[in-house]
Amino acid sequence: MSRFYFVLAIMAVVFFLVELYAFQALKTVTKNKALKYIWIGVAILAYAQFIFMFLNSSRATGQTRYSQYSFGIVLLFLIPKAILLLTMFGEDIVRFFVKISRITSDAEIKTIPGRRKFVSQIALGIAALPFASFLYGMIKGKYNYKVLKYELAFDDLPEAFDGFTLTQITDIHSGSFNDKEKVQYAVDLVKEQQSDMILFTGDIVNNFASEMDDYLEMFAEMEAPYGKYSVLGNHDYGDYVKFKTKKDKKANFAAVKAIHPKIGFDLLLNESRYIEKDGQRLALIGVENWGKGFNQAGDLKKASEAIEKKDFKILMSHDPSHWEYQVKKDDFNYHLTLSGHTHGLQMGIEIPGFLKWSPASYVYKQWAGLYEEYGRYVNVNRGFGFHGFPGRVGIWPEITVIKLKKKSVLT
């Protein structure tokens, strides 16, 4: 409990320091008392509701929509004001050295009139950009679905599969949805791709199987001539909530697994399937969750027992750290791995061909998009749903379509 209150105290100090500097910037550019009172009042309400949520959260319920939006509201105000803090703190450092130089130098040093006000105006203008971005991300960005298409060529792809298409979705996190119409739109996008096979790479719920009840019929609408297959993600095990008994947790896990056949997906639990076409075949392997440092239920060797090294292989593994630490160098040669998990942290900057950044890049080497090493590929889908922060800023929800090509045919 002492650790709990220590964390709460640290948060309170951070909030206070950020607000102190942000308010100084406001005071510099306006003398309007009403605006100042509104600024203070909104800040108090934002932080008070977050602290209330923090004090009253329970591991029995896990993350709820209320807790997500509580966190989102704090980020909405905290991040822009943190930018103000950095800007104004930088100005304070400049002023400090100016004063020191006045003391140590005989030369007269003139300050720029109104510099503080000018810096404050610039800082407020800059801070308005992330505020608008986060507000958009919470209202619309989380449903701003993008269809990303790739074409990958392989020397040893069976000729029958030249032009074979896969649609990958991942991280549905159904417990976070609050707009069935938008979700239906995304499901319709998946259907429009008319891919040969649909693959789902884990995290169908946040914690509880019941989260999916309202979406079973919707996701069952997806069809593919060569089948729909899925694996589990870290959230599907119920490890992030405290169940009353181990029996309850086990029952929930069984119910989560039962969702997959209800919506027409063949759930692969450390096992494989052969996909056959015109007398040729490729191997599809699905492992349970394997993450660096946690929940390593995935067993690649067990999942690959029924296939041969010479087979062309597609691996479904929820966490891309599995590819980094176990898969990419494996001489059994897994040609293409499909992952998710990171969500690209649901916030970042992506300008195709120029800039690609997210805080997720400091945690995962492969965090969003297609990567290639040793002639093997991993695609890290940015996720279908959202979790934690109830929005997306610059990292949009994704439906991936991959076309397989035989290199000799391609050339």
Tokens found for residue 216:
């079973």
Q: How far, in Å, CA of 293 to CA of 201, rounded?
A: 19
Q: How far, in Å, CA of 129 to CA of 226, rounded?
A: 46
> What tens digit of pLDDT does each residue of 73-116 get?
989 988 888 888 787 777 677 777 767 766 665 555 555 556 66
The pLDDT, as a whole number, for residue 27 is 80
Q: 301 versus 7: which is more confidently predicted?
A: 301
pTM for the whole structure: 0.90
pLDDT above 90 for 120: no
> What tens digit of pLDDT does each residue of 139-195 get?
999 999 999 999 999 999 999 999 999 999 999 999 999 999 999 999 999 999 999
What domains does the chain contain, in order, with CATH numbers?
Answer: 2-139 (no CATH), 143-410 (3.60.21.10)
Q: How far, in Å, CA of 234 to CA of 289, rounded?
A: 6
Quickly state the pLDDT bin for 410 (edges 50, 70, 90): very low
Tokens found for residue 342:
């990171």
Q: 69 versus 12: which is more confidently predicted?
A: 69
> What tens digit of pLDDT does each residue of 353-369 get?
889 999 999 999 999 99
Q: How far, in Å, CA of 284 to CA of 387, rounded?
A: 28
Whether 192 contacts 222, CB under 8 Å: no
The pLDDT, as a whole number, for residue 110 is 53
Q: 340 versus 128: which is more confidently predicted?
A: 340
The pLDDT, as a whole number, for residue 403 is 98
SS3 at position 324: helix
Mean pLDDT (the chain) is 90
pLDDT above 90 for 26: no
CA distances from 308 to 241, 270, 285, 313, 338 (A): 39, 15, 12, 9, 20
Q: What is the DSSP letter of 119?
A: H
> What tens digit of pLDDT does each residue of 242-253 get?
999 999 999 999
Environment class of residue 332 by beta-carbon count within 10 Å: exposed (0-12), middle (13-18) or buried (19+)?
middle
pLDDT above 70 for 296: yes
Quickly state the pLDDT bin for 395 (edges 50, 70, 90): very high
Find the mean pLDDT for residues 58-62. Answer: 77
> What tens digit of pLDDT does each residue of 199-252 get?
999 999 999 999 999 999 999 999 999 999 999 999 999 999 999 999 999 999
Q: Where are the alpha helices (DSSP H) in 63-207?
A: 65-104, 115-139, 180-192
Q: What is the DSSP letter of 341?
A: -
Nearest to 256 by CA among 311, 204, 297: 204
Quickly state the pLDDT bin for 330 (edges 50, 70, 90): very high
Find the mean pLDDT for residues 30-40. Answer: 85
CA distances from 291 to 67, 318, 339 (A): 25, 8, 11
